[in-house]
């Protein structure tokens, strides 16, 4: 059973004003029009709307609270949550490459896969890594038993793979010889290699004159 209070980030005794404030804030954040019609944001937006429509109506909220309480009693809440499986089809990937993750949890009523958000207790997600941080992309699975206030966490780290070392070297070499944008310090837009050589020559001349001055 979905926990609407968790979706809105509010306590179970939240006031009507608290519900409205949270809904306004989250609906702006997850609105599909502001997130290039991303399916993930669209799904979260629907859940937020669903939660608000239920909790903002007194009679519907009362019925929902009764059902939630009944669900929690029938659920095995005295057993800590656990992660049965959490796998990725690859742990080395190139930027923009498709990755598939699968997970299955037990005795958890709130499940999050970060950086994506709330998910079902078990499932699969297909995504593309657009950015790596220091050559790594981390995915975390949080399985929470909200009654026991216990969470099981497991992570997967995917490391960035380049095409090959030759191409990487070629890209760096091309960058050195490529004309640069004109700036105050580089009025002619000279390639990096020219400025590096000029710097080395100036350093050699400075050392030469320094040594020469000491000999006199």
Domain ranges of the chain: 4-74, 82-160, 165-215
Helix or strand holding residue 98 (H, E): strand 98-106
Q: What is the pLDDT of residue 6?
A: 81
Pick the CATH number of 82-160 from 3.20.20, 3.40.50, 3.80.10, 2.60.40: 2.60.40
Q: Find, among 96, 113, 102, 100, the residue nearest to 160 by Cα.
A: 96
Global model pTM greater than 0.85 = no
Q: What is the pLDDT of residue 140?
A: 95
- Residues in the chain where the model's pLDDT stays below 50: none
CB atoms within 10 A of CB 206: 10
Q: What is the pLDDT of residue 215?
A: 67
What letter would DSSP give residue 37? T
Q: What is the pLDDT of residue 72?
A: 67
* CATH number for the segment(s) 4-74: 1.10.287.110
Q: Find, among 73, 84, 77, the residue nearest to 146 by Cα.
A: 77
Q: What is the pLDDT of residue 161?
A: 87
Place of tokens 């599909």: 32
Q: What is the pLDDT of residue 83?
A: 94
Q: What is the pLDDT of residue 68?
A: 81
Q: What is the pLDDT of residue 134?
A: 87
């Amino acid at each position: 059973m979905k926990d609407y209070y968790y979706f809105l980030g509010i306590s179970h005794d939240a006031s009507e004003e608290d519900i409205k404030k949270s809904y306004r804030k989250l609906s702006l954040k997850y609105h599909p029009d502001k997130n290039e019609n991303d399916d993930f944001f669209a799904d979260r937006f629907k859940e937020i709307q669903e939660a608000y429509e239920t909790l903002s109506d007194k009679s519907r909220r009362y019925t929902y609270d009764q059902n939630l309480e009944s669900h929690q009693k029938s659920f095995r809440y005295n057993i800590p949550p656990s992660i049965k499986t959490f796998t990725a089809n690859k742990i080395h990937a190139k930027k923009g490459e498709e990755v598939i993750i699968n997970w299955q949890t037990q005795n958890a009523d709130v499940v999050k896969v970060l950086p994506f958000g709330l998910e079902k207790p078990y499932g699969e997600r297909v995504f593309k890594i657009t950015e790596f941080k220091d050559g790594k992309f981390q995915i975390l699975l949080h399985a929470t038993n909200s009654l026991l206030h216990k969470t099981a966490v497991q992570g997967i780290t995917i490391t960035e793979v380049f095409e090959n070392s030759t191409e990487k070297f070629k890209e760096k070499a091309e960058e050195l010889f490529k004309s640069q944008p004109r700036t105050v310090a580089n009025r002619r837009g000279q390639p990096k290699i020219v400025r590096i050589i000029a710097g080395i020559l100036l350093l050699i001349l400075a050392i030469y004159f320094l040594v020469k001055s000491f000999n006199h």
